[in-house]
Amino acid sequence: MTAHPSDSYSTHDHPGTSTADSPPPTRGPLHGLRVLDISTVYAAPITAMLLGDFGADVIKIEHPSGDPARSHGARKDGHGLWWKVIARNKKCITLDLSTDEGQQILRDLVIDADVLVENFRPGVLEKWGLGPDRLHAVNPGLVLLRVTGFGQSGPYAERRAFGTLAEAMSGFAHQTGTEDGPPTLPPFGLADGVAGLAGAFGVVTALLHRNGPAGRGQVIDMSLLEPLLGILGPGPTAYDQLGTIAGRNGNRSPNNAPRNTYLTKDGRWVAVSASATSVAARVMRLVGRPDIVEQSWFDSAGERSRNGELLDDAVAKWIADRPLREVTAEFERVGAALAPIYDVAQLMSDPQVLARDCITTVDDEDLGPIKMQNVMLRMLGTPGAIKFPGRRLGQDNQEFYRDTLGIDQERMTELTEKGVL
C-alpha cells in the first residue's frame, strides 16, 4: 500500500471508546489506501463509505451533474441529509466518464489507486475503455469491485435492478409480514446495506491476497441478490433436504417461542426473544405460567414454536397489565431478553446509545453540527473515525486534479467548460 499526499489530514479516535489503557489515536487501519468511488446511489457507495471510515483515502468521482443520491430523501437548505452520511469521508471531484478525455483521466488516476468501486451495468465500462483488462494494464495491483443487480454473468446480467428486486427474489419478502397478509418489503435499503458490508469485506480480502505472494489485484463480481440470500438462513438447504418452504409468521419465529412484540399498559411496544430454553423458562415463570415449563415438549425450541400461541397469550397478558418501566425491570431481574421498540427520537435518547456515542455529532460546513450513525466497528487498537460529512459537488476538483495529476488552471478551465469536469 502506498501513502498518498492527501492522506495528511488528521483523524480522531472513535468517540466513546477511549480508556486509560487505550493506545493513542491512529489514522485508521486502512490509512494509505486510495479508493476511487465511481458508483452511484447506495450499495457500492456504502462500501466506499465503510473503507473511508477506517482511514482509506476515498475519492468520490461524480458526473458533473451530480450523484442522484444527493437529491434522495430528506433535505435541509438544499442539502441532502442522506448524502451527508453516505458520502462522509470522501473527497468529491467531478468527471464525465462518457468522454474520451474523462476516460483518460480515470486511467491516469487508476495508476496510483488501490481500489476502484463501480456499479455500472455490465459492459458499460468496457464500452468506455475502462474494463478490467484496460485498468489492470495500467495497474496490475488494482482491486476492482463491481456491484450489479444480478452479477456480471447469467441471463439476468443486463437487467436493471435495485435492492428492492433482491429483497423480492431472495426470499426475504416472502417470509416477511403476517401469515394472512402480503409479502412485505423493508422500508429502507436492506439489500443495499448488506451488499455494502459484503463489498467492504470483499475488498479487504482481495487486498490481503494482493499483498501476499500473488501480488496482483483482481475483480470482485458482486450482485445485490447474493449477499442478502447468504444471510437468510438455511432455506435452500431445508428445501433441498426436506422439501419445506418457509412462509410468513408475522413477528413470531418458526424456530423458537416466545418471540413477538407486545404492548405494555402505558402504550409502549416491546420485543421479546427467547431462543435459549433457559431464557424461555425464565420468561414463562415470570409471567406466572411455570406449568408450561413443565410440559414434556418445552425443552424443544421447535415444539415451543408450534405451541407459540399458548406462550404468546401468557406473555402478552402479563405485559399488558404493566407499564414499560416495570416490564423492563422485571425482565432484567430474571435475566430474560427484552427491548423497547424505538422510533428514532427514542433511540437517540437511550442511555446505552448515548454512552457509546452510537449516534455522534459531526461538524458540517453547510449545516453546522449534525448527528449521524457513528462508525459501526469499534477497533480499539486502530479505530475508525468520521472526519467530515458528505461534501459539495466538485468541491475538491481544484486541489485534487492539481496535486494528483498536475493539471494547471488553464487546462482545468478548458475541461470544465467542455463539461468533462
What positions carry a catalytic annotation?
192
For residues 184 and 150, give the distance between their C-alpha atoms in angstroms, rounded to a whole number: 21
Q: Which residues contact 170 (CB under 8 A, 6 or more apart)?
A: 191, 225, 228, 229, 232
For residues 5 and 393, give the distance between their C-alpha atoms in angstroms, rounded to a whole number: 22
Find the helix packing angle between 43-53 and 190-210, rounded to 10°.
Answer: 50
Q: Which residues contact 8 (CB under 8 A, 6 or more apart)?
A: none
3-state class (DSSP) for residue 236: helix
**Cα dihedral across residues 312, 316, 319, 321: positive or negative:** negative
What one-letter code names the amino acid at 314? A
Q: Which residue in the block uniquely carries the three cell numbers 413470531?
A: 252
For residues 203 and 44, give the distance between their C-alpha atoms in angstroms, rounded to a whole number: 11
Burial class (CB in 10 A: 0-12, 13-18, 19+), 74: exposed
Q: DSSP for 199-211?
A: HHHHHHHHHHHHT
For residues 235 and 140, give the distance between their C-alpha atoms in angstroms, rounded to a whole number: 39
Question: Across the chain, which distance is largest between two alpha carbons, in Å?
Answer: 84
Distances (CA, A) of 294 to 280, 286, 308, 399: 12, 14, 15, 72
Distances (CA, A) of 329 to 170, 316, 322: 39, 16, 11
